[in-house]
Structure 1
Amino acid sequence: MSKLFKLLSVFLVMSSVSCIGVKKHNTQVAAAHTPEELREDVAYTYKKFKQLHPNLYQYVSESELDRKFDSLKASLKEPMNGEEFYKVLSPVVSEIRQGHISTSFPKKRFTKKERKARKNLKLDFYELDFEYIDKDIYISRTGKKDSVLIGSRVLEVDKKPISTIIDAYRKTFSSDGYNTTFENNYIALRFGRLYAKHSGPLDSVSLKLQNKDSIYTKWFKRYDKTKTDTDVTAKSDSLKPEKIKLTRAEKQAKRLELKQTKKKNKKYGYVKSRDRFNRNFKFLDAAAEVGYFKIRSWTTGKYKEFYEESFTKLDSANAKYLVLDLRDNTGGRLAEIREFYKYLVDDEFQFVEAAYTKTRLPYLKNYYSGNPDIVSVLAQSLSVPILFTHNILKSSKKDGKLRFNYSYAKKTKPSPLNFKGKIYVLINGNSFSASSILSTNLKASNRAVFVGEETGGACNGTVAGFYKLITLPNTKVRVRFGLMQIQTPQKWQEPDGYGIKPDIVITPNAEDRFSGKDAEIAWVLEDIRAN
């Protein structure tokens, strides 16, 4: 009985501490900070950039960036809370013009009771996908509901003009270098997430939409996703539904089916929130001469089996053409794109160079950046000696610069199943990060024809890999940036600061997109027929 009482006491104390912690955090988030505290946070931000960012002045001179940070400090004459400070800091940080840098402001936290109450609440606004077309934002996907919204142009969100919202978001981040295709495309691709970030927890959202000549308002409100229309019927029915008992064989079959589904989901990279796969392969013609990969992201699941399976199909069919669709693929794992590249070349290759860095311990800097809880810190600390030794052994200096010699920089042999036919690559402004690195290798080796728009990621490399996340001491605004300059051996595009340019420029229009015509694929198929 005494043990039970002690456990209950500990639980009550922890719950009380948690509630106090949430209350204290929310008070700090709302609090205004003095101009001196704000200037301290500006100085701290710039200090960390200069200490750890490996290519800080790639797209802006040191004197110009000094001037911008000094100008920001001089302008801070009134108190601000964290969110207000974020709105003046992020535009200056974005002037560094490195697309992997992100900033965020501290948000209100919920108590355990509040989180439990909100757990089953759903807002269908987050089910929507958006696309930037003809200088406007359109709804391109609705999940399982309201498909009639597809093709509607967004005019306002919560009575704010969409153009005003886009202009505000565009100031808070940047592309790599001077590229102009990334920012608007990315805002559309991540619009739901960005709106939630800047508008806080949402209980409802209204969209003013235009579809042809019709203008109307669509409301989205949070609802309990566990309650359905059938619940009402069940309550009014005095008879409980009979529970179906499965036989041993049926249970075994169900377990096997579940196991196979899980295996498939890992291989193809299933994304539950969008009910679709990251990795997709099919033939575009009945004769199986044109293979087609749609890779939405180089993340999620086990990829090696998928690529071996897909290229085996191409090899067995003796396919002559391959279309690689990287539109709206914002990146992912370096290991995965190198694995994929093995199937596209027939000679030994070096995929990337050793990464330039300003720290001998990029793994450890990344490891502790998330400000984890004490349990995580203790668990991670056990790995510190191994990681420290690994980082030191992998680091070396060349031409006065610190380099991290990771395995991706080693010479790699092509796969025996490497595709020898003609390759087309579809790209747009959201082809970023890992997708740009893969595209750079294909472009430099003249291995593919590029169709679409300039990539959002830079052709001559990017600063990513491992990341440092800093929390500013006063406002608690967070800044995240890469610790590694990653680039291919072929730094060949001049001037620097632009993405991979398409050989065939095709900019999508609304009429094609929402009539079911894919203009980029249509051009590829026509080119194949002509040749």
Structure 2
Amino acid sequence: MIDNRRFLKIVPYLFLISSLVSCTSVKEFNYTVTEKKHEPAQLIKDVDFTYQLLKDGHAGLYWYVTKAELDNKFDSLKRTITGPLTTKEFFKKLSPVVAQIKCGHTKMLLVTKKLTKKEQDSIKKLGVKPINQLGYKIINNKLYITSFNQSIKEVKKGNEIIAINDVPSIEIIEGLKVNIASDGYNQTFKTAVLNRSFTNWYTNFYDNKDFVDFKVKNEKDSIIDLKLNTYKKPVVKDSTVVKKKTKEEKATEKKIARAKQKLNYKGYDEFKNPILDLKFLEKDSSVAYLKVKSFSFPYANFERFFKESFIALKKGQTKDLILDLRDNGGGSLKACRDLFSYLVNKDFVYLQQTAVDHRFNPYVREKGILNILKVVPFQIANSLLLKKDKDKYRVNFKGTKSLHPKENHYDGKIYVLINGYTFSASALISANLKQINRATFVGQETGGGYNGCVAGIIPMINLPNSKLKLRMGLYPIVPNAHTETVGRGIFPDIEITNTIEDVVAGKDNELDWVLKEIKKKV
């Protein structure tokens, strides 16, 4: 164990050394991850390094694949490495093998060139790449257009993309999916992940070219060629005369800015909509809509939001609560547990007690003097989380013992909206609610597993030669719930599917179904 006081004294010197070598190290790093061809022996060492980390640290490595099967997959991978490969070429080989573990928190990350601010600005000036000029949606393994650059006139929203640069869309989709692990055998998570960031996934595996040929089926079922080049936005000179603001105008702006800042605890998503939101959908407050799109984001104050929301529900005498967990990829275990405590009216246990064989610090295996900056904090976190219990180490998450419901807890009817990106912490609360029949679930199967996941602390470790990153879960987190259907998520009581026409029209079929159901009771 490193003495913390001594460590703090040497930190400034470590940062000084870091700044002195940064220019050389960045240049070397960029060459390594872009141009360098790594010899087979180096890459095989990275394969062994990866598998050893997983065997030593991943508590659920063999939940969904046997040791013999996984041994064979890694051995087979090494046999295919017969010549030098770039980092990206190696990533394409290693990524699908790691995904075979079927842990949604564990994956390979492709590292890219580190760019200076000047280089980033220069790239932006070159224009928008073709693949970034469209918006995409995958439904039933078909790829559709949901938005497009205003200069594009040949297509409409909802048109299907048949192929990209002569590669069939189905081949692209299936090829990308093998690199995405869900918790077990679930498939909705893979589609949801691609729908959130199709362009990023595509450019990880295909070159981000300045010319792309899309084969598109239009509304008349005719196949058209949509040929796109990098689009440079025209420079529009702003001729607006900026007037000097009055004191009153400046004061008003500051007041608006302060008001917006006060709402930061609710967060904002990529569409500038609140991540946390409560709305009453009827004038008499009888129906409430509670959106929780994430359990983790900057400036979040879940304790405040939940307290305010459930006081409002109590005051409004709400009879029906719609809890929207769609697209909630998880986050804080405390936040999801606190929300659960507002939805029950008696003492509860939230998690099953789990344990691991040993304490594990993956960062001690990375090279470099600065690695101590990661080793020590991780070691401290580990010592706080894991408690020795006979021949095991008990994972010390709060919730394994009985807890009380919150004051102002809600006792009325609950509907929970779920989809393929309801994952991790949002799957934990869903499983616990499902187990006690507390809610009616509407939507699609969750991406997170009913029987839990491997997460807790999630380190990212650099491979020594290729510089790829391994992101891996370490500790089993199991809800106080169980299903015999192994390797699947929480299934909806009412399954709702959406067509591309629904997406283009902006329909919310899940919410619409719930509202119609509520009206039946009136």
What TM-score, normalized by structure 2, do the two folds share?
A: 0.84
Query: What is the alpha-carbon distance in structure 2 between the residues aligned to residue 437 and residue 312 of structure 1?
Result: 24
1:165 aligned residue (172, 176, 193): 172
Q: Deviations over 1:64-95 (max 9, x none)?
A: 11121122222322222211111111111111
- Please state whether the residue corresponding to 2:100 is helix, strand or coil: helix
Q: Deviations over 1:88-132 (max 9, x none)?
A: 111111111111111123323335542343467774966965433
Match of 1:336 in 2: 335
**Residues 122 and 469 of structure 1: CA distance in aligned 2, closer, same or farther (over 3 Å):** same
- Please state whether the residue corresponding to 1:467 is helix, strand or coil: coil
2:115 maps to amino acid: F
1:262 maps to amino acid: Q
How far did residue 190 of structure 1 move?
Answer: 2.0
**Residues 149 and 466 of structure 1: CA distance in aligned 2, closer, same or farther (over 3 Å):** farther
1:308 maps to amino acid: K
> Is the Cα–Cα contact under 8 Å of residues 425 and 451 in structure 1 kept in the other structure?
yes
Q: Deviations over 1:462-509 (max 9, x none)?
A: 01121122222222222110111111122x201321111111222222
- Please state whether the residue corresponding to 1:31 is helix, strand or coil: coil
Q: Deviations over 1:22-81 (max 9, x none)?
A: 442233222222222222111111111111111111111111111211222223222222
> Is the Cα–Cα contact under 8 Å of residues 128 and 142 in structure 1 kept in the other structure?
yes
How far did residue 304 of structure 1 move?
Answer: 2.4
- Please state whether the residue corresponding to 2:459 is helix, strand or coil: strand
**Residues 117 and 404 of structure 1: CA distance in aligned 2, closer, same or farther (over 3 Å):** same
Q: Is 1:244 aligned to residue 249 of structure 2?
A: no
Match of 2:319 in 1: 320
Query: What is the alpha-carbon distance in structure 2 between the residues aligned to residue 528 and residue 435 of structure 1?
Result: 24
- Please state whether the residue corresponding to 1:96 is helix, strand or coil: coil
> Is the Cα–Cα contact under 8 Å of residues 366 and 462 in structure 2 kept in the other structure?
no
2:139 aligned residue (133, 136, 142): 133
**Residues 122 and 488 of structure 1: CA distance in aligned 2, closer, same or farther (over 3 Å):** farther
Percent identity reads 36
**Residues 129 and 411 of structure 1: CA distance in aligned 2, closer, same or farther (over 3 Å):** farther
Q: Is 1:356 aligned to residue 346 of structure 2?
A: no
The alignment yields a C-alpha RMSD, in angstroms, of 3.5
Match of 1:8 in 2: none
Number of residues paired by the alignment?
498
**Residues 497 and 242 of structure 1: CA distance in aligned 2, closer, same or farther (over 3 Å):** closer
Match of 1:511 in 2: 501
> Is the Cα–Cα contact under 8 Å of residues 329 and 426 in structure 2 kept in the other structure?
yes
1:25 aligned residue (24, 29, 36): 29
Q: Is 1:94 aligned to residue 91 of structure 2?
A: no
Unaligned ranges ≥5, structure 1: 1-12, 235-240
Moved more, 59-68 or 110-119: 110-119
Q: Deviations over 1:1-37 (max 9, x none)?
A: xxxxxxxxxxxx9999655444422332222222222
- Please state whether the residue corresponding to 1:520 is helix, strand or coil: helix
2:410 aligned residue (397, 416, 419): 419
- Please state whether the residue corresponding to 2:279 is helix, strand or coil: strand
1:46 aligned residue (44, 47, 51): 51
Q: Is 1:284 aligned to residue 281 of structure 2?
A: yes
> Is the Cα–Cα contact under 8 Å of residues 295 and 325 in structure 1 kept in the other structure?
yes
> Is the Cα–Cα contact under 8 Å of residues 213 and 225 in structure 2 kept in the other structure?
no
How far did residue 392 of structure 1 move?
Answer: 2.8
Q: 1:89-488 to 2 correspondence within 5 Å?
A: 89-111=94-116, 113-118=118-123, 123=128, 130-140=136-146, 150-157=157-164, 160-199=167-206, 209-213=216-220, 215=224, 217=226, 219=228, 221=230, 223=232, 229-231=236-238, 233=239, 241-247=241-247, 249-264=248-263, 266-271=264-269, 273-300=270-297, 301-357=300-356, 359-360=358-359, 374=370, 384=377, 388=379, 391-398=382-389, 400-488=391-479
**Residues 330 and 15 of structure 1: CA distance in aligned 2, closer, same or farther (over 3 Å):** closer
- Please state whether the residue corresponding to 1:154 is helix, strand or coil: strand
What TM-score, normalized by structure 1, do the two folds share?
A: 0.83
Moved more, 471-480 or 139-148: 139-148
**Residues 210 and 201 of structure 1: CA distance in aligned 2, closer, same or farther (over 3 Å):** closer
Q: Deviations over 1:159-181 (max 9, x none)?
A: 54322221221121211111122
**Residues 334 and 137 of structure 1: CA distance in aligned 2, closer, same or farther (over 3 Å):** farther
Query: What is the alpha-carbon distance in structure 1 between the residues aligned to residue 237 and residue 495 of structure 2?
Result: 51
How far did residue 155 of structure 1 move?
Answer: 3.3
> Is the Cα–Cα contact under 8 Å of residues 96 and 180 in structure 2 kept in the other structure?
yes
> Is the Cα–Cα contact under 8 Å of residues 369 and 467 in structure 1 kept in the other structure?
no
2:102 maps to amino acid: R
Match of 1:530 in 2: 520
Unaligned ranges ≥5, structure 2: 1-16
How far did residue 229 of structure 1 move?
Answer: 2.6
- Please state whether the residue corresponding to 1:322 is helix, strand or coil: strand
1:109 maps to amino acid: K
1:296 maps to amino acid: K
> Is the Cα–Cα contact under 8 Å of residues 323 and 416 in structure 2 kept in the other structure?
yes
**Residues 394 and 41 of structure 1: CA distance in aligned 2, closer, same or farther (over 3 Å):** closer
Query: What is the alpha-carbon distance in structure 2 between the residues aligned to residue 77 and residue 62 of structure 1?
Result: 25
Query: What is the alpha-carbon distance in structure 1 between the residues aligned to residue 372 and residue 232 of structure 2?
Result: 37
Q: Deviations over 1:381-433 (max 9, x none)?
A: 8x75xx75664354234574322213344533222221111111122222111
